[in-house]
Each structure stands twice: as structure tokens, then as C-alpha cells.
Structure 1
């Protein structure tokens, strides 16, 4: 279910509320983004200060302002504390294409929460943001993210060699994609 709260869409699933991340959420972000395991494939060093978290929140706002992305905070319905985030970035509107990204607090791993959140934003992206193609770029050792997107119907298209330079090294990335018609077919089967 999607609710338009002014300019930011609030998404609700069975267990989750996906909402705008605000400065009040900085401590929550610092809590999980300072964990080395959580940021291992995120392309950043573990956060060390509240300033790092506030910078991240500013980035969320800037991609929304520039219409190049949108990022939702993942919260459990009964708690309201941000336990992760997911969203779209690198939107290329003339090609109806975007990339997806997500991360989750380690305490919440293995519960299907990330898949539930990602499935909700994919549905929103195809139905309300007019995407034709959603891409996921995932490092080869990041098996859990590969399993998650494959479970949601993404197809691995190939390996992008030395595609990104993050944290002082070049990273290979698998290119995954999900097309609107694939998503529609999976919903109707």
C-alpha cells in the first residue's frame, strides 16, 4: 500500500513501514552503518560519527531534490526505528531506468525483511515511477544480495569488470535487471 504524504511516498507492507529518513534518524543510521559487515559491499568505510550519518541523510535528500533517486528508511511497524534503507539511484528518466540499492541492520538479517522492503519499492517503481527496467549492481562475493534479487525475479546479465573504485580498490559488479513485464508476469502467475 502506498500513501502520498506530500512529496514523499509512504509505503506499507505486512510488517514494515518505508518512510522518509530525517535528521532524527541519524543515530539509527550510525548504529548499523558503523558495522563493518553491513557496509562491506556498500562502497563506503564504516561510519565513525553522527556527521557521517547526517551526510548520508543529506545525500538521500539531494538525490530526491535532483530527481535522480529516492531512498526509504525501513522500519518495523511496531517500532518506527530505522533499521535499514532501500531505494533507487541513478535514475535515467529518458530511458525509464534506475538502479536499486538496499542495506539492513545485522540484527535483522535472515528474516526476509530486506526482500519484503525491496519487493515493495520495486512495485512502487514500476507502478508509480514509470520504470521499465530496474538494475541491481552486486559484487560477486555478496551472495545474500544476489539470492535476494534472484528470488524477486532479477536476471543476471553479466559481469562488469573493475566497474567501481570504492574504498581504495576496483570492484567487479554483476549486472542484474528486472523488466516491468517480468514483474507483471510474476505477479499474475
Structure 2
């Protein structure tokens, strides 16, 4: 199965390959980028290659798909966006995203997330897309709220990452929310 490509006015969302490892290492080694992702900053190209391998594995086993975010005129991967924890039986998945700090505040994450959400509803027939966001990650909360997500509640000590338990807000958007 070939990886679908999503095109927006400024972006090309495409498969991430091993050749993109250096670009990914650049932003995933930034503590500000990964601090709300439940990851330690990447230390080596091997860390980035492991992440790329995970992207491929979730696509192969049908539990997710992750696109590399690239600017049309540049081609280098500056972030990623996609689905994980996909439940085909329940027509839902969780969406996740991250973006290199040098591109924050330019509407790129909004544009990528909007395209991925539409893709999920139109091509995977999702009824529900969820986003789990740490309470301290206010910019991501604002981003999903601008997309129409509703905060449903707080999941206390929902994940154990980086040596601690994390609370996460549960957000969701339903297919019908896009039509309203």
C-alpha cells in the first residue's frame, strides 16, 4: 500500500523516509518541541531512525499513519502529523502532531492538522478523532479548539512517561462537527 500524499496551499504531507532522519533529529532534539510529547529530547540519528521505524510499523499494522510535514518549496521535514491508536471497529483514532520551533506561530500546524482531520473523516470514515493533550500544553489546546475540538475532560495519571505520571485532557471532534 502506497503512502497517501496530502497537499495544501503551502504544504506537502508525505511519507517520512530514513533520508529525513537528520531533519527530524534537528527538531526532536529540541526540549521545547518534545516536552509535551512524553519523550526525552533525541540524542542521535538512531533515535530519529527509531521514530521513522515506528511510523512505518503503525501504518503496516493498521493502527495509525504519520505524515512528514514539508513546505512545498523546501522538501525537508519540519514536523509530523497523523493518527495513532486507530480503532476500525469503533471508527475512531487519536491525532498527534509536532512542529519544529522555528515554524511555530506561522499557521503551519493548523494547516497540516486541518488537512489530516479532513483526510481521516473522508478516507478512513472516522466518526470521531481524539486528541490527548497535557494541561500545560496551552498552544496545542488552542490549536485543536480552533479546529473545532471539544474538551471532554481530564484523564488523571493517564500515561507514564519520562519517569512521571501525566494527566491529559481528552479532546474530540466528530464528523458531524465539521458539517455544522
SS in structure 2 at match of 1:54: helix
Cross-structure match for 2:164: 169
Is the aligned partner of 1:144 residue 2:143? no
In structure 1, the gaps of 5 or more residues are 1-5
- TM-score, length of structure 1 as denominator length: 0.94
SS in structure 2 at match of 1:182: helix
> Alpha-carbon deviation of 1:7?
1.6
* Distance in structure 2 (CA, Å) of the matches to 1:17 and 1:53: 20
The one of 51, 63, 66 equivalent to 1:56 is 51
Is the aligned partner of 1:16 residue 2:11? yes
Runs of 4+ aligned structure 1 residues displaced above 3 Å come to none
Is the aligned partner of 1:99 residue 2:94? yes
* Distance in structure 2 (CA, Å) of the matches to 1:74 and 1:60: 13
* Distance in structure 2 (CA, Å) of the matches to 1:183 and 1:88: 18
Cα root mean square deviation, aligned: 0.6
Cross-structure match for 1:3: none
- TM-score, length of structure 2 as denominator length: 0.99
* Distance in structure 2 (CA, Å) of the matches to 1:130 and 1:43: 29
> Alpha-carbon deviation of 1:184?
2.3
* Distance in structure 2 (CA, Å) of the matches to 1:99 and 1:71: 11
Within 5 Å, give how 1:32-47 maps onto structure 2: 32-47=27-42
In structure 2, the gaps of 5 or more residues are none
Aligned residues: 180
Cross-structure match for 1:115: 110
